[in-house]
Amino acid sequence: MRYKDKISNAYYSLLAAATLTVLDIGAAQATTGSSQSVGGVASKVKDDLADVGKLLMVGCGLGGAGMVAAGLYKLKQAADQGGNGQVKYTDGLWRLGAGACLVAVPAFTGTLTSTFGYGAPSISQKTTNF
């Protein structure tokens, strides 16, 4: 396998390792948990879904950083060819735009959860006395 193929497949290897880790942790928690009530199961499902959301946010951040790097590399290739070669400037710009959007997803969702009350309370909410 060529070195370039190993780098391009590293994303899939990382996702596979993360999936196995999450599944292994979930299986270990399921076997040690003694709560078999409906409320216990619902709480476990809620916690697992929160972990999946965190995994997606990390994936968006890493994927966005990778897209930004790929966009910069394409822009460098286009500049080396003088814009007249097979690689166009728009290829790099599209990748930069997509990468910037992916990097912004975790920050945007964090803002939304704080705004609508699903996140941790702010300092002003903790110290306000009426």
The model's pLDDT over 80-95, given as tens digits with 9 standing for 90+, comes to 888 677 888 888 999 9
Q: Is residue 125 part of a domain?
A: no
Residues 66 and 95 in one domain: yes
Phi then psi for residue 129, to 5 deg, are -115, 130
- The predicted structure's pLDDT at residue 51: 81
pTM of the model: 0.55
Residues 67 and 111 in one domain: yes
Q: Is residue 124 part of a domain?
A: no
Residues 30 and 85 in one domain: no
57 burial level (CB within 10 Å; 0-12, 13-18, 19+): middle
Q: Which domain holds residue 77?
A: 36-118
Say whether pLDDT at 129 is over 70. Answer: no
Structural domains counted in the chain = 2
Two structure tokens written together for 104:
């912004």
Q: Is residue 101 part of a domain?
A: yes
